[in-house]
Amino acid sequence: MNTADQALVKKMNKALILEQIIENAPISRAKLSEITGLNKATVSSQVSSLLQKDIIYETGPGESSGGRRPVMLKFNRKAGYAVGIDIGTNYLIVVLTDLEGHLIEQFERTLDEEDIQATEEALIELTGLAVDKIPPSPYGLTGIGVCVPGLVDNERQVVFTPNKPIHLIPLKEKLEERFGVPILIENEANAGAVGEKKYGEAGQLEHAVFVSINTGIGLGILMNGKLFRGVQGFSGEAGHMSIHFDGPLCRCGNRGCWELYASEKAVFSHYGANSEASLYETVKELADRSDPGMMETFERFGFHIGIGLLNILKTLNPDTIILRNTIVESYPIIVDAIKKTIASRSAAEALSNYHLKISSLGRTASSLGMSSLVIGHFLERFMNERF
């Protein structure tokens, strides 16, 4: 075996050992040897290297069936930190996590739907606040992930954001210049699907759809446990499928788009709230006193969501649909209306096995998904010995 091959084998062995420590910690060297099939000398050598790099650490002795108790190894989740950012049409969420995705800090701000300059300024400001909260650590800030509600291609470039021209902000360049770390870009619903797969409802699911309903509607599609992006990276733009062939013109250029009927903006705009926060306050105030108009609006919201979900169920046949919307999460009457709509328009045999769930991560699903992608990117670079 030549020198290059030996180096590659060592790199692969190190990656395998680190992966097993992350997945199975606390774990002993002997158990690592058993799981990986590597001899004890190789395991010992690679573990020593990982210890020197502060990416793992030794902890108290584990259990033993006889003889000396083994020293256990754990992944050092505090070796570095990741920032995940969700830029919505009317909101900004920035999270700081450790390398296991535990939430350290969270910052939010309401945004003007039209003011791109203010959005850019808030992005830099809140990201800076998160970075300032990073404790001393061997690797510090490992990267920043940003998701947006719109088209992100396979090169991770923002192509078009129909409900707000976020695509006019050079996100990658601005953040790289300011913070000097790798910047990852993704579609908001895709990021939500990643978040749910890593930390939430989709952990063990192979076929699931994450549905994000805000000013617009987007899907993150999991097929065979992997994110499905399509040939250009534009899959999941279900908010712009027509549910009325001759409906009103949408900003995307189509007519009768689903999100013109089933988004928060479409259903609740007549309540006159001028921000996301004030909308929820208005909805809560009316719902708390069982206002007939609000109850009717909830039913209509659920009906229009259900129409779109029925199309998704019949097209993709997922095991589970995970819904992300603050109002839906708060009022079961909407979920009941969704289920009733789906059931009334399909044969029971055809859709008997699907599950409809509410996002367990709530508002942070997409920002945590971006943090997870940053962590994965950091670990890939680490395993390729780029540190």
Give the pLDDT score at 64.
Answer: 59
Alpha carbon distance 179, 137 (integer Å): 16
pLDDT (mean) for 200-229: 95
Range in 56-70, 157-171, 218-232, 244-258 with the lowest mean pLDDT: 56-70
pLDDT (mean) for 230-253: 94
pLDDT (mean) for 215-230: 96
Alpha carbon distance 306, 285 (integer Å): 25
Confidence check: pLDDT of 66 > 60: no
pLDDT (mean) for 44-52: 96
The fold adopted by the segment(s) 3-75 is: Arc Repressor Mutant, subunit A (1.10.10)
Domain 81-191+365-383 is classified in which CATH homologous superfamily?
ATPase, nucleotide binding domain (3.30.420.40)
Taking the model in full, what pTM does it have?
0.94
27-28: strand order across its sheet: 27-28, 71-75, 56-61
Q: Does domain 201-359 have CATH number 1.10.300.10?
A: no
Give the pLDDT score at 383.
Answer: 87
Give the pLDDT score at 276.
Answer: 72
Of all residues in the chain, the percent with pLDDT exceeding 70 is 96
Range in 9-23, 61-75, 228-242, 317-331 with the lowest mean pLDDT: 61-75
Confidence check: pLDDT of 2 > 90: no
Range in 135-144, 322-331, 341-350 with the lowest mean pLDDT: 341-350
Confidence check: pLDDT of 386 > 80: no
pLDDT band at 84, cuts 50/70/90? very high
Q: Tell me, yes or no, if the two domains 3-75 and 81-191+365-383 fold the same way.
A: no
Segment 116-144, tens digit of pLDDT: 999 999 999 999 999 999 999 999 999 99
Give the pLDDT score at 387.
Answer: 62
Give the pLDDT score at 305.
Answer: 98
Give the pLDDT score at 8.
Answer: 85
Give the pLDDT score at 62.
Answer: 59
Of all residues in the chain, the percent with pLDDT exceeding 90 is 84
Segment 277-311, tens digit of pLDDT: 788 899 999 999 999 999 999 999 999 999 999 99
pLDDT (mean) for 41-63: 92
Name the residue ranges covered by the structural domains of the chain: 3-75, 81-191+365-383, 201-359
Q: 151 pairs with which residues across the strands? A: 160
User: What does each C-alpha distance from 190 to 32, 86, 232, 351, 369 come to in angstroms?
Assistant: 34, 11, 14, 24, 8
Question: Strand 320-324 relative to strand 355-358: parallel, antiparallel, unpaired?
Answer: parallel
